[in-house]
Chains A and B, each alone.
Chain A
Amino acid sequence: MIEIKNLTKTFGSTHSLDDVSINFETNESIALMGANGAGKTTLIRSILGYYHPTSGSVAINGIDPIKERTKVLQDISFVPQLPPPIKLSLEELMHYISVSAHVDKELIRHYANEMKLDLKTNLSKSFFKLSGGMKQKMLIAISLAKESNIIIYDEPTANLDPKARDDFYRLLKQNEQEKVLLFVTHRLEEVKELVNRQVYMDMGKVVSDEKIQRGHHE
């Protein structure tokens, strides 16, 4: 589903990705791990088509995410590590998403409700004025409502309290079939119930890649 071939990305003299080749297939839940600066975010941004590769290629279902970004992104949900300070109100943000990605607003409401986010009273509030946890819940609700086949989460639980984390895991488990789930995380512990593959990156390279049993890890 996601095919990365000999991908190198340099910024100045720094090799953020160094000849990375890796595939992610349907029904895989991957924990993408590594120290800061290992290249995890660069890899994710390359999948999303944000970076022009220095060399090598990225293909999502055979399609180049830069050349055909709208086609590729129709099928990807992404939640960044830190919710950005979007000034749109929640209503406007939902409008943006429903028009651009054809996401049903009702479904966003449904998942927001499941995440215990009170959408109704906050609809006219600017997104950036919400608390960290509320922002994260909103982004998670959107990512699930988009019903994509590829879901990418960059440290998704950083702002969530234990109860919200449980809701998040429960919803993900209900929605993981026939999908690729990619978690960038520093703590395998947090996603151990969900992942079946662990990829470790260091200095822009994939240094270990192994299948793991859910709930079991070293």
Chain B
Amino acid sequence: MNNLLLIAYLDLKESIRAKWFLIYSLVFGGLIALFFIAGVTESQVMGFSGLSRLLLMYIQVTIVILPIFILITTVRSISGDRDNHILEYMLSFPISLKAYYWGKIIGRFVTVYLPVIFAMIIAIIYGVIQGAAIPWAIFFLYTGLLFALSSAFLGIAFFISSFVKSSEVALGIAFFVWIFMLAFIDIALISLMMQNRLDEMLIISIALANPMEIFRVAAISLFDPQLTVMGPVAFYILDSISQITFVVLSILYPITLGLLFAFFGFIIFKKKDLV
């Protein structure tokens, strides 16, 4: 086993035992269970019904809670180890900083991504048992989108973790990043548009830079041609770019963003004092 996989494997094992992971898994699994109990699959809203309706609701809740879950559980990964001197001991063994950093990222990615995907798979299996039709297109799109969203926020979290000395500060920054991006989902942008002082393209560009906004628009755009459940920014985005281009962009852009942040985090981690 090489050192990269060793770190990933041990981080995964450690995370799975942690209480936050149990809560994290219960939240996403519980959401799906709750939707079934509440009879979401039998309801029809805005043309969505059955499993599509359930997955849509799932994704709408996920977009709000997944980023903050990833941020708060991951942001302390390196800064926390630095804080309580674990890094000082673990890095006294001949392991390269590259293997340590990227190994931690891989381990943490598997930890945060698997429960979210498993919850969706459970929904599909339960839906099939109940006799519902499987919306494969939505399922695969959401699998890709969740992968992309997890990558983006994991990268951001590791970036924060690499330069913050105390895990308390890391948590504070993580929370700010989440609120900032959430506020930018239409809320701030609508008010900007209403004031009509900014160019529309600028507003769209700002919206597109936000992985949470891109995720939301992509998650709903395929199935809501009238865009009745979307905000005005989403409408503008889909008016300017074709749907296929947008879906590809919505998966590739957050992954690239996450990788870039993770990479900058690594540069900082390498250049700074380790403890």
Which residues on A are within 8 Å of B, measured CB to CB? 45, 48-52, 69-74, 76, 78, 80, 82-88, 92, 95-97, 99-101, 139
Contacts and interface: CB of A to CB of B under 8 A. Distances in A.
A100 B85 contact: no
Given A51-B275, A99-B3, A100-B6, 11 more contacts: A48-B92, A51-B274, A70-B95, A73-B92, A80-B85, A84-B90, A85-B86, A92-B10, A97-B93, A100-B3, A101-B93
Q: Which of A49, A99, A100 has the most CB of B within 10 A?
A: A100
Contacts of A99: 1, 3, 6
Given A84-B84, A92-B10, A96-B6, A78 B95 contact: no
Interface in B1-58: 1, 3, 6, 10, 13-14, 17-18
B94 A73 contact: yes
Interface in B148-188: none
Contacts of A101: 93-94
Contacts, number: 75
A50 B94 contact: no
B10 A88 contact: yes
- The 8 A-B pairs at the shortest CB distance, nearest first, are namely A78-B92, A73-B94, A70-B94, A50-B274, A84-B85, A74-B94, A84-B86, A100-B95
Nearest to A70: B94
Given A85-B86, A99-B6, A100-B3, A69 B14 contact: no
B97 interface: yes
B160 to A, nearest CB: 21
A71 B274 CA distance: 17
Interface of B: 1, 3, 6, 10, 13-14, 17-18, 84-86, 88-97, 271-275
A74 B96 CA distance: 11
Nearest to B274: A50
B21 to A, nearest CB: 12
A79 B24 CA distance: 35
A50 B84 contact: no
Contacts of B6: 95-96, 99-100
A214 B251 CA distance: 67
A101 B274 CA distance: 19
A84 B86 CA distance: 5
A86 B89 contact: yes
Nearest to A126: B17
Nearest to A72: B94
A78 B94 CA distance: 12
B10 A100 contact: no
